[in-house]
Chains A and B, each alone.
Chain A
Amino acid sequence: MEACNCIEPQWPADELLMKYQYISDFFIALAYFSIPLELIYFVKKSAVFPYRWVLVQFGAFIVLCGATHLINLWTFNMHSRTVALVMTTAKVLTAVVSCATALMLVHIIPDLLSVKTRELFLKNKAAELDREMGLIRTQEETGRHVRMLTHEIRSTLDRHTILKTTLVELGRTLALEECALWMPTRTALELQLSYTLHQQNPVGHTVPIHLPVINQVFSSNHAVKISPNSPVARLRPRAGKHMPGEVVAVRVPLLHLSNFQINDWPELSTKRYALMVLMLPSDSARQWHMHELELVEVVADQVAVALSHAAILEESRRARDLLMEQNIALDLARREAETAICARNDFLAVMNHEMRTPMHAIIALSSLLQETELTPEQRLMVETILKSSNLLATLINDVLDLSRLEDGSLQLDIATFNLHSVFIEVHNLIKPIASVKKLSVTLNLAADLPVYAIGDEKRLMQTILNVVGNAVKFSKEGSIWITVFVAKSESLRDFHAADFFPVQSDNHFYLRVQVKDSGSGINPQDLPKLFTKFAQNQSLATRNSGGSGLGLAICKRFVNLMEGHIWIESEGLGKGCTANFIVKLGYPERSNESKLPFLPKMRATHVQTNFPGLKVLVMDDNGVSRSVTKGLLEHLGCDVTTVSSTDEFLQVISQEHKVVFMDVCVPGIDGYELAVQIHEKFTKRHERPVLVALTGNINKMTKESCMRVGMDGVILKPVSVEKMRSVLSELLEHRVLFEAM
C-alpha cells in the first residue's frame, strides 16, 4: 500500500479529552468572534477613539485567531486536504497579523498609558482651579464687605456711629462672636473698654496699657493673633465647657490734627492707639485666614481716618461755637460801651445846661448889680465876684471841653488878640495870690515879641494861668520868673519830642514860655506822669492842692492843638522846677484868614446903653417869645415891629429896619431859607439889615448853618437885658457877632 495521507483519527480512550478540546475550541472561537463585535459596538458608541487602525488590526488578529480555532474543530476528525490548507492559511495569516499587532502594540501601549497620566493630571488641575476659584470668590466678597464697611464708616462724621458701625459690620462680615474696642484713657496709662458688639454696658472696664500683649499688638500694624485668655479678650464670663474661638487684635491709630502735615501715615510719631479685639465664635473650629486678617487691617486704617475726620469736624464746630459766643459777648460789650457813651453824652448835655444856667444867673445879676448905685467897697466886691464867676464859667466850660477834647471835637477859636495884654492880665491875676504867700512874680517879655498874634486867646491864657498857678501853688517861698520870647529856628531843632515837628514859615512864629519857680521841685521819676489825667503826685497831693488833676492834662491838649509842645524840667525834690511850653501863633499882618471859619472878633470898645429909635424887626411864631423880646428891645429904646410868619415878614421888611431877630428853630418855618431870601432882596450890604438868629441851642452845626446862609449873628434864648444890650452894641459897631454862649 501507498502511504495513506489520511490520518486515521485517533479515537483512543481520550475521546473525552478530545471532546473537551472540541468544546473549548468552539467556545474560544465564539469568544474570539464576539470580542471584535463588542469592540466595534462600543467604539461606535464612543465619540473619541483615536486608534481605529489598531482596532482594525486587533480585530483582524482576533478574528483570525477565532477562525483558526474554528477550523481546528474540523481537524479533530478526518479532514481533507482543503481543510488543512485553509487551516494553514488561517494560521499563517494569524501569525502575520498577530506579529504585526504585537509590533504595533509596542508603540501604542505607552501612548495609551500616557493618556491616562494626562487625564489624572487634568483632574488634579481642575480640582486645584476649583479651590482657587473658591478662594477668589471669598476674597471678592471680603473686598465687597470692606468697601461697604468703609462706606458705612465714612458716611458719618459722628464718632460713636463710626465705631459702632465698624464693630457691627465687622461682626457681620466675619461672623464674629464678639468684637470690642479699647480706647486709651486721658492719662494714656490705661485702655478702657469703650465699645462692644453684644454687651450693653461696656463702660468702666480698664486694663493697663503696658501689658506685653498690648505692646506686641501696638508695635506692628498687622492684625496679631492673641491668646483668648489675655485680659483684653476676656470680655464675657465664660461658661466652662466652651472652647474659645481664636482672637485677633489690631491697633487703630488715633491721629491728631497736627499729624496731617506728614505725608506717610500711619508711620507717625503718634503714640496713641486704640485696640480692636475680634473673637471668632467658640466651638466652631474656625481659623483666622489671611484674607480675613487683611480685611481687619484695612478696616482699622479706615476707621483711623474716619475718626480723625470726625475729630476735625468736632474741633471746627467747637471753634465756631466759641467764636459765636465771643461775638455775642463782644457785641454786648460794644452795645454797653455805646450805651455808656450815650449816657455820658446825655449827662454832659444836661450838666452843660444845668451848670451854665446858674452861672449865667450869677454873671448876669452881678453885672446888673454893677450898674446900680454902689459904694466903692461894694463895687470892688462886685467886680471880684464878676471876675471870679467869669473864671468859674470858663472852668466849667473847659471841664466840659475836656470831654470834647477827648472826642477830638474841640476846635480852637482862632482870632487876633493882644499877646502882651494876655500876659499882663495873667500877671495881675497871680500877683495878689502870690503876694499872700510872699512870693515874687517877675514877668519878662522879650523885646521882639509881637504885640498882636493870631490864635486862641482864651485857651492860651488858660494854659499860662494853669502853669503859673501850679508854680505858685507848689512854692512855699522864693520867686517865680515868667519869661516869654519867640523861639528861634535853631533852638527849635533841639526838641526831639515824639509828636512835635516844628515847621518854620513866614506866617507863624513859635511862642516860648518858661515859668521857673524855686519851690518844692519834682522827682525826675514822676515827670512823665505829670500830664496824665487825674494822676496826682503823692507828695504834691499832700499839700492839699484841691485840684482835680486835670490842669496839666488839659494844658497838654491845648498845647497840642496849638501844634506845640509842653514839658517840665526839674532837678529833683527841693530844687524847684521849670515849666516850658511852645505854641504856634500866627502873625497878624501876614496871615491869610480866609481859611478860618470864624470871622475875627474885635473887642468892643464901649457898650451902648440905649438905642433910641433903632428900628428892629422880630420874627417869632411863639406869642410869649414875641412879647418878651419886644418888651426887652423896647426897654432898650428900640422901635420894635413883630411878625409871626415868613409872609408877614417879607411884606413888612424894608430898608428902615436895621436889625432883624428871627427864631430859627421853629419847625415849619425855615429861617435859613428866609435869610437867603433877604440876601437876595437886599444885595447891597449897607441896605441889608443885620440878621441875628435866635435859637434854643447853640452848637457847631447851628452856627455853621447860620453862617452859611449869611446870618450875622446867633444868640441863645432866653436873652437877658445885659446880653441884648451888648449884642446890639456889638452888631451896630461891627456888623458882626459870633460867639458861643
Chain B
Amino acid sequence: MDAVAQWRNQWFDYTHYLRREGFLDDQFAQLKKLQDENSPDFVVEVVSLFFQDSEKLLNNMARALEQNVVDFKQVDACVHQFKGSSAWIGAMRLKNVCINFRNYCEAQNLEGCLGCLQQVRQECLALKNNLENLFRLEQQIVAAGGSIPVME
C-alpha cells in the first residue's frame, strides 16, 4: 500500500504541476471522466489519435510554409484543425500557440508563422513527454494494485 500511496502522491503532484504550467486544463479531466468500464483506454486512444493527427498536420504546415508562394489559407486551415484538436484534449498551451499562429496566418506574416510552427512542435513534444510520464505513472499505480485517482 505504501508504494501505491507513494505513486498516488507522485501522480497528484504531477497533475498539479501539469495544471499549473498550463499543459493541461479541465477539458483533460473531462476526458478522464469518459473513461469507464466500457472504454478503459479511452484517454490513451484519444491522445494517440491526437499525436498521429498532429504529425500529419505539422508536416502539412511545414510543407506549405516552404513553398515559394505560401498559401496562408491552407496553413490557416491546418492550424484551425490543430487548435480544435488541442482544445478537445485540453492541451491549453498548444491551443494558445495555435491562436497566435492563426493571427500570423491572417496577417500573412511568414516569419511569425515559421516561429509559431517551431513553437508548436516544441509544445507538442513537451506535451507528449508529459503525457507519457503521466500514463507510465498510472500504469505503475495499477501495477501496484491501486486505482487511478480522479483528476480534480
* Interface residue ranges, A against B (CB under 8 Å): 357, 360-361, 364-365, 368, 621-625, 627-629, 631-632, 634-635, 663, 665, 667-668, 696, 717-718, 720-721
Contact = CB atoms under 8 A, between A and B. Distances in A.
B46 A631 contact: yes
Contacts of B49: 623-624, 627
Contacts of B39: 631, 634
A368 B152 CA distance: 10
Nearest to B53: A623
Interface stretch (B6-14, B82-90, B138-146): B82-90
Interface string B29-68: 1110110101100100110011011000000000000000
A631 B47 CA distance: 13
B100 to A, nearest CB: 11
A718 B27 contact: yes
Interface string B104-128: 0000000000000000000000000
B81 interface: yes
A628 B49 CA distance: 10
A715 to B, nearest CB: 13
A211 B24 CA distance: 95
Interface string B69-88: 00001001100110111011
A368 B26 CA distance: 12
Contacts of B76: 667
5 contacts: A361-B25, A624-B50, A631-B34, A632-B30, A667-B80
A634 B33 CA distance: 12
A446 B31 CA distance: 51
A624 B33 contact: no
Most buried by B among A624, A625, A632, A718: A624
A634 B80 CA distance: 26
A629 B77 CA distance: 21
Interface-central residue, A622, A696, A717, by most chain B CB under 10 Å: A622
A211 to B, nearest CB: 74
B46 A627 contact: yes
Contacts of B31: 628, 631
B25 A624 contact: no
A718 B49 CA distance: 17
B88 A717 contact: yes
A622 B81 contact: yes
B53 A721 contact: no
A357 B31 CA distance: 16
A721 B33 CA distance: 8
Contacts of A361: 25-26
A470 to B, nearest CB: 35
B81 A621 contact: yes
Contacts of A631: 31, 34, 39, 42, 46
Contact of B88 (A364, A365, A624): A624
A628 B88 contact: yes
B88 A635 contact: no
Contact of A628 (B25, B38, B46, B77): B46
Contacts of B84: 622, 624-625, 663, 696, 717
A150 B20 CA distance: 89
Contact of A718 (B30, B38, B80): B30
Contacts of A623: 49-50, 52-53, 85
Contacts of A625: 84-85, 88
Given A628-B89, A629-B88, 10 more contacts: A365-B29, A365-B152, A368-B33, A624-B85, A628-B31, A631-B31, A632-B30, A667-B80, A696-B83, A720-B27
Nearest to B74: A667
A388 to B, nearest CB: 18
B53 A624 contact: yes
B29 to A, nearest CB: 8
A631 B25 CA distance: 18
Residue of B42, B45, B88 with most partner-chain A CB within 10 A: B88
Nearest to A357: B25
Contacts of B85: 622-625
Contacts of A360: 26
A136 B152 CA distance: 118
A631 B90 CA distance: 15
A361 B19 CA distance: 12
Contacts of B83: 696
A635 B89 CA distance: 16
A622 B50 CA distance: 10
Nearest to A633: B34
A628 B25 CA distance: 15
A718 B50 CA distance: 15
Contacts of B34: 628, 631-632, 634-635, 721
Contacts of A663: 84
A373 B56 CA distance: 44
A667 B71 CA distance: 14
Nearest to B85: A624
Contacts of B42: 631
A634 B38 contact: yes
A412 to B, nearest CB: 31
A624 B89 contact: yes
A552 B119 CA distance: 46
Given A364-B26, A627-B49, A634-B39, A717 B152 contact: no
Most chain A CB neighbours (cut-off 10 Å) among B45, B50, B76: B50
A618 B15 CA distance: 31
B3 to A, nearest CB: 27
B77, B80, B84 — most chain A CB neighbours (10 Å): B84
Contacts of A717: 84, 87-88
A623 B46 CA distance: 9
Contacts of A357: 25
Q: Which has the most chain B C-beta neighbours within 10 Å: A360, A628, A663?
A: A628
Contacts of A622: 53, 81, 84-85, 88
